[in-house]
């Protein structure tokens, strides 16, 4: 794992966006893995700036998002589908048919997950963007004694429900389940992985990536088996 430690959130976001820009400009039909949360918002903002400056073209790009709440309608402003439209998709020139996000309104989640994995495997992901939960979760792969390998429906832990409650108003129900790419879906199908993290709250999770131990109670540690992982984080996440 390669660490790049930045002064602050802005520098982290710029460095992450530059990695994406370089990839897209050298491979205009590349496949991107994308994440939601507060962490990637700055990265997406920079990508939109590059697009507006005519420095980047998304028309040949295919995307796969990591996760979505379940059940969740696409047009719900709390959905990850909505988040991606608001922060990136509607602001640049992706082709709609090239965007893939787990379907939070499917009646048959098992079948959906199987097909999502098959599609990811057939495309392959050139660069997978990941955030990280305070408890070390990736997507919605939550701490457990055993992790599920492929895309699956999962129950969220109290810590994640708590962390995500900031996005919901008191009278809205915070989802307790989600569809998430599995750790093996991510590791097996991504050529390169970019994990971004900022703030003291992420320090414990980032600290667990510095040694050579793998622990399913900290799902992000599984990424250590992947040969090409870059972690771009700010000083607070790195040093605490």
Residues that bind ligand GLP (CB under 6 A): 35-39, 66-67, 131-133, 139-140, 160, 164
Active-site residue 75, yes or no?
no
- Out of 65, 81, 135, 141, pick the active-site residue: 135
Secondary structure (3-state) at 125: strand
Q: Minimum CB separation from ligand GLP for residue 178, in Å?
A: 7
Assigned token pair, 62: 């295919």
Q: Minimum CB separation from ligand GLP for residue 74, in Å?
A: 17
Strand positions, DSSP E, 139-227: 152-155, 177-180, 190-197
Judged by phi (left if over 0) then psi (alpha if -120 to 50, else beta), residue 231 lies in beta
- Out of 65, 87, 103, 137, pick the active-site residue: 137
Q: Minimum CB separation from ligand GLP for residue 199, in Å?
A: 8
DSSP conformational letter for 145:
S
The 152-155 sheet, strands edge to edge: 67-69, 177-180, 152-155
Closer residue to ligand GLP (CB): 30 or 66:
66
Active-site residue 137, yes or no?
yes
Closer residue to ligand GLP (CB): 57 or 148:
148
Closer residue to ligand GLP (CB): 39 or 106:
39
Evaluate the omega torsion of the peptide bond into residue 71 and state whether it is cis, within 30 degrees of 0.
Answer: yes
- The residues annotated with a catalytic role in the active site are 67, 135, 137, 142
């Amino acid at each position: 794992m390669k660490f790049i430690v930045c002064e602050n959130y802005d520098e982290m976001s710029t460095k992450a966006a530059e990695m994406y820009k370089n990839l897209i400009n050298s491979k205009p039909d590349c496949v991107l893995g994308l994440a939601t949360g507060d962490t990637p918002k700055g990265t997406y903002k920079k990508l939109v700036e590059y697009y507006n400056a005519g420095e980047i073209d998304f028309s040949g790009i295919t995307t796969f998002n990591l996760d979505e709440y379940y059940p969740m309608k696409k047009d719900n402003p709390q959905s990850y589908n909505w988040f991606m439209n608001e922060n990136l998709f509607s602001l640049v020139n992706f082709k709609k048919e090239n965007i893939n996000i787990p379907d939070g309104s499917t009646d048959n989640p098992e079948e959906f997950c199987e097909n999502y994995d098959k599609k990811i495997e057939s495309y392959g992901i050139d660069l997978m963007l990941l955030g990280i939960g305070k408890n070390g979760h990736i997507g919605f792969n939550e701490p457990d004694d055993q992790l599920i390998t492929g895309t699956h429906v999962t129950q969220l832990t109290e810590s994640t429900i708590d962390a995500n409650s900031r996005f919901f108003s008191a009278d809205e129900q915070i989802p307790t389940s989600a569809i998430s790419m599995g750790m093996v879906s991510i590791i097996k199908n991504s050529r390169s992985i970019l994990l971004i993290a900022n703030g003291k709250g992420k320090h414990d999770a980032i600290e667990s990536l510095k040694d050579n131990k793998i622990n399913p109670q900290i799902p992000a540690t599984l990424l250590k088996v992947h040969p090409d992982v870059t972690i771009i984080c700010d000083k607070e996440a790195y040093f605490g």
